[in-house]
Every structure is written in structure tokens, then in C-alpha cells.
Amino acid sequence: MERDTNFILGIYDDEDVLKEAVTKVRENGVKIHEVYTPYPVHGLEDLLGYRRTRLPIAAFLFGLLGTCLALTMQIGMMGIDWPMIIGGKDHVPLPDFIPVTFELTVLLASFGMVGVFMISSNLKPWANPRIFDLRITDDKHVMAIDIANNAKIEEATIKELLQSSGASEVNNKSFE
């Protein structure tokens, strides 16, 4: 897949200016590639029009899998494979299975959800991320606009728009 290589960057100092700028830029018909921030800015995902993440659903499904696996394991081992009377209890004493079932539900839900998060966000130790600006992880918010994606709009118009929306700097950034 060919990667986009030329970007215009609007650099913002304040989260509230950034949020207003995102709205303004989108209203002017410019497509935003992505916004990079040093910390989670609440409400930004709605302004960018992102769909709500489905990670909670993944967590629920993995949790359900954990519950089923735990019950199958315990009933299979103690009720079917080698039934024994322990403390005068039934072969399948369901109340006694609650703790292990609960723990495995939580374990699978957490690990499953985090695994999906890692895969969907491409987080891995050998990842080679495109760093738009080194200050993103420090104190600057960066709005990246893909030039190829906004072919109909003049580059200068986009830059002017960013400037007027409160960007402290407007830069070009190219990747090899």
C-alpha cells in the first residue's frame, strides 16, 4: 500500500483552541488526516467525527468466552472426567465454581481487549511510527492534513485557515 507522504501541520498550544480549530477546519471542507496530542483531549474524537470504539464489545465477548471456558473446565474435570465426593458436596458444586469462573472471565476480558487494542492501534515493540513532530509527546497538539487528500483546495488556503484558527506554527512535513 502506498503511504501518504506530504502533510501540512498545524501546531496548537492549547486544547480548547485546538478543539475550535478542528471544528473550523472541518467546516471549511478540509479533511483532517489525524490530530496528535500529548494527552487525551476529551471530546476531540466527536469533533473529528470518529465512530465510537467497539473495544467494549470485544471485552464483553472475551469475558463471555472466559466464563464458558472456566465452567467447561471445572465441570469437565470434577463432574465428568473424575467425579469424587469432596466434603460431601455434589460432583458439580456450582457455588464453589464462582471464584475461578469470575477470575477467568476478568482475565480473558482484559487480555482479549488489550490484545485487540494493540492490534487495532498497531502497537508493538518493533513498530516504526511516523512522528510528525517530536513535541507531540511533550506539550504540542498537532493537526496533520494530508495534501494529496485535499487536492481540490489550494495549499496556501489550508495554511491560512490553520493560521487563522489559532495555530502557533504551520509547517510542512514529508516522509520518505
Partner 1 sequence: MQVTSSVREPLVTGGKTYKDVTHDVSRQVEGKPTIGWLLGMAVSIGALLLGGIAVGATVWEGIGMWGLNKTVGWAWDITNFVWWVGIGHAGTLISAVLLLFRQKWRTSINRAAEAMTIFAVICAAMFPVLHMGRPWLGAYWALPLPNVFGSLWVNFNSPLLWDVFAISTYFSVSLVFWYIGLIPDFATIRDRATGLRKTIYGALSFGWDGAAKTWMRYESVSLILAGLATPLVLSVHTIVSFDFATSVIPGWHTTIFPPYFVAGAIFSGFAMVLTLMLITRWVFKLEDYITMVHIELMNIVIIITGSIVGIAYITEFFIAWYSGVEAEQYAFINRAFGPYWWAYWSMMTCNVISPQLFWFKKIRTSIVFTFLLSLVVNIGMWFERFVIIVTSLHRDFLPSSWAMFYPTWADIGVYLFTFGLFFTCFLLFAKFFPVINMAEVKAVLKSSSEKVNK
For helices 155-164 and 15-27, angle between their N-to-C axes, nearest 10 degrees: 140
Binding flag, residue 111, partner 1 (CB under 8 A): yes
Strands 141-146 and 169-174: unpaired
**Applying CB under 8 A, does 114 fall inside the site for partner 1?**
yes
Site for partner 1 in 33-72 (CB under 8 A): 34-41, 44-45, 48, 50, 53, 55-56, 59, 63
Work out the burial of residue 21: count CB atoms within 10 Å of its CB; fewer than 13 is exposed, 13-18 middle, 19 or more buried.
buried
Q: How big is the CA angle at 31 (ends 29 and 34), to the nearest 5 degrees? A: 145
CB 132 within 8 A of CB 142: yes
119 binds partner 1 (CB under 8 A): no
As measured in angstroms, the least distance from the Cβ of 156 to partner 1 is 26
Q: Which of 2, 3, 27, 84 binds partner 1 (CB under 8 A)?
A: 84
Residue 160 binds to partner 1 (criterion: CB under 8 A): no
C-alpha cell at 133: 513532530
> Is residue 78 a contact point for partner 1 (CB under 8 A)?
yes
Task: Please identify, using beta-carbon distances, which residue of 16 and 160 lies nearer to partner 1.
Answer: 16
CB of 115 or CB of 157, closer to partner 1: 115
Q: What is the dihedral of CA 31, 45, 55, 132, to 10 degrees?
A: 60
Rounded-to-integer distance, Cα 132 and Cα 170, Å: 12
Residues forming the site for partner 1 (CB under 8 A): 13-16, 34-41, 44-45, 48, 50, 53, 55-56, 59, 63, 73-74, 77-78, 81-82, 84, 86-87, 89, 93, 96-97, 99-100, 102-104, 106-107, 109-111, 113-114, 117-118, 120-132, 134-139
